[in-house]
Chain A
Amino acid sequence: MVIFILRRLLHTIPVLFGVTIVVFLSLQLIPGDVAQTLLGFSATAERVAALRRDLGLDKPIYVQYATWLWKLVQGDLGRSIAMRVPVASVLGIKFINSLILSGASLLIVIVGSFFLGTISAANFRKAFDRFTVFFTLFIAALPVFWLGIVLLYVFGVKIRVFPLSGMYNMANPGGFPDLLHHVLLPSFTIAASSVAIVTRVTRSGLIDILTQPYILAAHSRGLTSERVTYIHGVRNVLPTFANMCGLQVGYLFGCVVFAEIIFTWPGVGLQLYDSILLRDAPMVQGCVLVVAAVFVLGNLAADVIVYALDPTRH
């Protein structure tokens, strides 16, 4: 187990380097002078020249990368053009906010698809199962931004059950219950599509397992059918289930951006969107880096969990 973790860590580090390279190089995509881009439209010529010297823009690109990376490791993600404050200072709290939202979504995916998948498999071809199959086919195709808009309209505008924006009530922040109230709609929006996908895979996986000979054998030994289904069947579908959940993490992270925009959740995704509009290149880079880094680490964690559940997979 430890060896596995170490091996995966060793594999992750060059990937993280690669991520920084991609983010660094993407800045070169912007037409025009890099220093001008980093300082924004209003910068005077002297400031632009000073920044060029500071970043060593006349030096070869790998030297520039090294300087940038060195600053990055020290926690200096650059300075936001629009807000004139260090990127890192803004992203700190926004990152936590996004984490709360993604965490809630992941929780819904795990719990929701586990129950839906196993219960519908156990009730194969009955009403619940048929309904689930049809429903998941439909939900898996829903674009997250559309679902967010619809839910916002139905629950925010028409039936005023849920708040429409933000993490807390601005006028009277209410602590954890307030947060819960605010996070439900956006996290559900993000989770919906993934729940559908994981439910389908779990369901078919569990059915595959339940049709195996050893399940019949368990029945013949006199075990009750619930026990067989839920203990033997489910235990064996867990690796597939965990694997699918792990695969969804990337998709969830992508959806977070849209949900944060629609529900005005003050996280990294919304910051990314605003910064694109503001042409705030350092902030865009910072946001992408943060999300990608978390994603890589999240995948690592998911891999470890899947391995723990079923070492024979590899």
Chain B
Amino acid sequence: MPSIRRAIKIARLFIMEESNKSGNAVKRLKGGSPDEKRRSTLYFVWVGILSDRYALAGAIIIFVFVLCAILAPWIVPYPANEANPMLRLRPMGTEGHLLGLDMQGRDILSRLIYGSRFSLFTGIMPVIISAFISIPLGMLAAYYRRLGHIIMRLMDVFFAFPMVLLAILLAAFMGPGIPNVILALVIVLIPYNTRVVYIEAVTQRSQGYVEAARASATSDSSILFTEMLPNVVSPSVVYSTTIVGSNVITAAGLSFLGLGVQPPTAEWGIMMSEGRSVLAIAPHIATLPGIAMIFLVVGFNLVGDSLRDALDPRTRLRRIKSSFRKLSEEREATDAPSPSV
């Protein structure tokens, strides 16, 4: 029977791996009651991030970039557009220029720091704005069934476009510039966000408390606002955090194609595009902004993944089960009475 033992060992290892991530959350459980849905969700989120070392790393990365963005004018070694023509295309490690200079003789490190502003802004803003639109839209679609079918069919049309392609189409025709990029991304993100909200709201709609509230003649808007909204917000928030990373890439991609920021703005996408023309002789110009972007995106992905795991009922349940098993083992060891589950 060696294979069975191996199988069991694998299963246990996997479960423990998952539970390690939120070992501390278990301690909170000892006190709280499972009915206070809202409260324990927040706890899971907060504690989940703190205890999960990956998510913590991700949060730190994001924090560093946010600091760069805010403090940019004070921490950059050179102004973003100051050009030193004599040092054009110099590589990393040139004296006074840690990351080298670009084809106009501008310091790359300074431009990277300023670039974080755009990446954070065009990465996060569209997600937030589209969430503000999608949440009411999705709830309405779930609550009023006929309207909902129409709305979701409309969304299906937008789903028919690959995300980047739709963004390109909109941005190309609207013209270059940050506001148009944000607008294009908002339009592209709304269908995805709305669908997430819609699915969650549909499950909520069939819950008992909605029927009960309707029966007691509470107004529709107050049902939506007080009952549905809080339960719909957290999956939407979680979904939003998971797409911020790819949104940063899409926004930079639009600038790469010439559809976003315009020269001489310091932005990662446009820096990569400019760097292409000197790739053979100065590869650092095109590659460094990409590396910065990868860090930022990984940061967002780590936090997003952890949030999703923390709020995903399946993993939560598994963790609860195994955590209780651990708890009962502890209690047996100390001979205390086991709690009623």
Chain A interfacial positions (CB closer than 8 Å to B): 11, 14-16, 18-19, 21-23, 26-27, 29-31, 124-125, 137-138, 140-146, 149-150, 152-153, 157, 207, 210-211, 215-216, 219-220, 224-225, 228, 250-255, 257-258, 261-262, 272-273, 276-277, 281, 284, 288, 291-292, 295-296, 299
Contacts and interface: CB of A to CB of B under 8 A. Distances in A.
B19 to A, nearest CB: 13
B293 A143 contact: yes
A216 B258 contact: no
A57 B173 CA distance: 18
A211 B10 contact: yes
Contacts of A125: 10, 13
Contact of A16 (B154, B160, B256): B160
Contacts of A15: 156-157, 159-160
A19 B160 contact: yes
A276 B6 contact: no
B157 to A, nearest CB: 3
B298 A141 contact: yes
Interface string B284-313: 001101100110011001100000000000
Contact of B162 (A30, A153, A207, A295): A295
Given A19-B157, A137-B298, A295-B162, A219 B253 contact: no
23 contacts: A18-B154, A18-B157, A22-B158, A26-B169, A26-B170, A31-B175, A143-B253, A143-B294, A143-B297, A145-B290, A146-B287, A149-B272, A149-B290, A153-B283, A153-B287, A210-B7, A211-B10, A211-B11, A211-B14, A219-B4, A228-B3, A258-B256, A276-B257
Nearest to B171: A276
Contacts of B159: 15
Given A15-B160, A22-B166, 11 more contacts: A15-B157, A26-B173, A125-B13, A137-B301, A140-B301, A145-B272, A149-B290, A210-B10, A250-B162, A276-B257, A288-B168
Q: With a 10 A CB-CB cut-off, give which of B245, B249, B272 has the most chain A CB atoms.
A: B249
Given A141-B301, A146-B293, A276-B259, A124 B287 contact: no
Contacts of A30: 173-175
Taking residues whose C-beta sits less than 8 angstroms from the other chain, chain B's interface range is 35 or more
Interface string B318-341: 000000000000000000000000
Nearest to A284: B172
A224 B151 CA distance: 52
Contacts of A150: 287, 290
A141 B4 CA distance: 37
B252 interface: yes
A158 to B, nearest CB: 9
